[in-house]
Chain A
Amino acid sequence: MKNIIRALRTERGWSQASLADELGVSRQSVNAIETGKYDPSLPLAFAIARLFGKSIEEIFDDETEAKLAAE
C-alpha cells in the first residue's frame, strides 16, 4: 500500500530509527512500511496517523478503492 510516511517523517527531520522508537517497532518495520513492502495492521496504522496528527486516509493510499472506482 502506497503511503506518505517517508515525506511526513523527513518533513519533521526524523530518522527511521526515531520514528521506529516512537511507534515501538523495529527500524526495518518502518522501512518496510515506507517502501510499501509491508502493510501495517489497523492498530499500527492508527498509531502512525496519531503520531503525525492526520487521518489514516490522508497517510495511506487505498489503491483498492481507486481500482474499484476505475472499473
Chain B
Amino acid sequence: MTQQTFKSAKRRYHRVFWPLMAIYAVIVIAGSYGLKQLDPEPLWLQATLAVACALPVIATLLVMMRYANETDEYTRMIQLRGLAWGGIMTTSVIFLIGFLQLFHVVDRFEIFWFGPFFFFAYGLSTLILNGGRHC
C-alpha cells in the first residue's frame, strides 16, 4: 500500500486533464472561426482540424483510464463502474437510434452526439455510484 496514492493520482489527472481541455477548446473555437474565413474550405484543412479536435478527447479518455489505474481501490471501482455504465448507456442509445433509422422512424442523427452523451452518462453514473459526490 503506497502512501498518497489517491492524491498523487488526482494531481496527475488534473495536471493533464485541464491543459487537454484548454487545447480542445482552442482548436474547436479557432478552427471553426478560421474555416469560416476561407471560401471554399480546403478539404485537407477540414480533415486536419477534425483530427486535431478528436485527439485531445481521445487523450482525455486515456487519461481517465490512467487515473482509474493509479487511484485508490474504492475510487477505481467507482471510476470503472462509471465507465462501464457510460459505455452500456451509450451503446444502448446507439442501438436504439440505429434500429429507429433502419426501420425509417428517424431520418438522420449526428453520430458526433454519442461522444458527449458518453461523457454525460459516465459523469452521472460516477456521481450516483459515489452517493452524489464527485470522485
Which of A23, A24, A44, A47 lies at the interface centre, i.e. has the most chain B CB atoms within 10 A of its CB? Answer: A24
A24 touches B1 (CB 8 A): yes
B133 with A47: CB separation less than 8 A: no
> Which of A23, A33, A46 is the most central at the interface, judged by chain B CB atoms within 10 Å of its CB?
A23
Q: Give complex CA distance A28, B75 in Å.
A: 8
Within 14-65 of A, Cβ neighbours of B (below 8 Å) are at 20-26, 28-29, 32-33, 38, 40-41, 43-44, 46-47
Chain B residues whose CB sits within 8 angstroms of the CB of A23 once the complex forms: 1, 3, 72
Secondary structure of the B contact surface, majority rule: loop
Closest to B5 in A: A24
If A25-B5, A26-B72 are given as contacts, then 16 extra A-B residue pairs at C-beta distance below 8 Å, sorted by A number, are A21-B4, A23-B1, A23-B3, A24-B4, A25-B72, A26-B71, A26-B74, A28-B78, A28-B135, A29-B6, A29-B72, A29-B75, A38-B77, A40-B73, A41-B73, A44-B72
